[in-house]
Amino acid sequence: MHCNRIYLYRSPMDTSPYVFDATAENFQTLVLENSDKGPVLVNYWSPRAGPSLMLMPRLVRLASEFGGRFLLVMLNTDNLGHLARAHGVTSIPTVKVFRRGQMVDTLRGAESEPVLREFIDKQVAREADVKYTAAIQSYQRGDTDKAVTQAAEAALVEPDNPRLAMDLVKLLMLQQRYAQADDLMTSLPTATRELPEVRNLGAHVSLIRLAQEAPPRKILESVIADNANDLEARYLLSAVKMTQDDYAGAMEQLLEIVQRDSSFRHQAGRNGLLAIFALLGEDDVRVQHFRALLRQAMN
């Protein structure tokens, strides 16, 4: 990811940590070596070309906005014409994308910001797909640790992509790294967390994590017998029962929470029920029973 890149030779034109000036000496390191770690966009420009001066600030804004998901390198063709010619540049401005030491895409002319954004989105998405594919291959080889690392890199490239985040969470769960999986779920953007499939997975992970940290089942049952309104104890007990495959018992506790205080822990009772429903499937008679009870409780 961008935090691992070799950031040298910053451009004096901008204070962004993602914008740099190319020289004959640094091109190998700045562009080719960095392109092994992520997309590098090279802007071939000239201070004598008006369109170049129009394009440059648009690219700089987007480099800052994308926050290191690509590296922007400015190559002044007045000084480095031999490099521009070697790269097949015939008009100014031209933007070329380098990946793994090779040119993989080209955009010519002083395009508008929406066109530039679409062009850059394609490069970033391609990078996420590469890392995601590598994660799947590592997992299939049995190297789960490496798969987790690569899936995390893909998720960082596209932080708003729920598929990547959910797959990373599932890999962490396979490694029984439930605390990390739960922390990742809570760190997702609000809009992503509110997607039904993400919310269900998050509730499931949270219950498993709680179960690992909860007191023994008998102690929780004793606490609830003494105080039926102890919703925290009920929530912990539901988590413990779920991990023991006592889904009906877990759903009973979650339903009690909904009935006593539906707002408890940001609707933890309802969200926990929905997560178990998704886990068991709609054809399960227990799901059908408790879904009807949940509708009654919410009404």
CATH number (domain holding residue 287): 1.25.40
The answer as to whether 229 is a domain residue is: yes
CA-CA distance, 299 to 293, in Å (whole number)? 10
pLDDT tens, the chain, 299 aa long: 343 333 334 444 445 788 999 999 999 999 999 888 788 999 999 999 999 999 999 999 999 888 778 899 999 999 999 999 999 999 999 999 998 889 999 999 989 889 999 998 888 767 777 788 888 888 888 888 888 888 888 887 777 778 888 888 888 888 888 988 888 888 887 888 888 888 899 899 999 999 999 999 999 999 999 999 999 999 999 999 999 999 999 999 999 999 999 999 999 999 999 999 998 999 999 999 999 999 999 88
What CA–CA distances, in Å, run from 27 to 57, 65, 74, 274? 22, 24, 10, 54
Residues 119, 245: Cα–Cα separation, whole Å: 49
Which of these three, 111, 131, 163, is where a domain ends? 111
230 and 254 in a single domain? The answer is: yes
Give 10's DSSP letter.
B
CA dihedral 141, 143, 146, 149 (to 10 degrees): 100
pLDDT attached to residue 195? 87
- 266 in the same domain as 227: yes
Give the helix/strand (H/E) hosting 143: none
Number of domains in the chain: 3
Of 288, 221, 299, 201, which Cα lies nearest the Cα of 251? Answer: 288
Query: Do 298 and 270 form a contact (C-beta atoms < 8 A)?
Result: yes
At 22 the three-state DSSP class reads coil
Q: Is residue 184 part of a domain?
A: no
User: Token pair of 129, please?
Assistant: 């797909």
Residue with tokens 């797909």: 129
Helix (H, G, I), strand (E, B) or coil at 160: coil
Is the same domain home to 215 and 294? yes
pTM of whole model > 0.85?
no
Tell whether 26 is covered by a domain. Answer: yes
Q: Which two tokens stand for residue 27?
A: 């091109």
If DSSP codes are grouped into helix, strand and coil, which group holds residue 99? strand
- Phi, psi for residue 45 in degrees, rounded to 5: -140, 170
Which one of 78, 111, 144 terminates a domain?
A: 111
Q: How far is CA 231 from CA 103, 176, 192, 234, in A?
A: 59, 26, 27, 5
Q: Which amino acid is at 36?
A: D
- The neighbouring-strand residues paired with 67 are none
* 9 lies in the same domain as 101: yes
- Same structural domain for residues 143 and 85? no
Same-domain status, 150 and 228: no
Strands, DSSP E only, in 7-93?
19-21, 40-45, 71-76
Q: Report if residue 92 sits inside a domain.
A: yes
DSSP string, 164-229: HHHHHHHHHHHTT-HHHHHHHHHHS-HHHHTSHHHHHHHHHHHHHHHHHHSPPHHHHHHHHHH-TT
Residues 149 and 218 in one domain: no
Same-domain check for residues 81 and 143: no
CATH of the domain at 60: 3.40.30.10
In a domain, 279, yes or no: yes
Residue 206 counted as domain residue: no
Identify whether residues 101 and 128 lie together within a single domain: no
Residue 192 placed within a domain:
no
Where does a domain end: 111, 133, 166? Answer: 111
Does 69 share its domain with 133? no
**Residue 193 lies inside a defined structural domain of this protein:** no
> What's the burial of 269, exposed, middle or buried (CB within 10 Å: 0-12/13-18/19+)?
buried
Question: What b-and-e string marks burial along 215-237, b requiring 16 or more CB atoms within 10 Å of the CB?
Answer: eebeebeebbeeeeebbebbbbb
Which pairing describes strands 102-108 and 19-21: parallel, antiparallel, or unpaired? unpaired
Verify that 107 and 127 share a domain, yes or no: no
Q: Which domain holds residue 292?
A: 211-298
Residue 285 and residue 215 share a domain: yes
Q: Are 20 and 71 in contact (CB under 8 A)?
A: yes
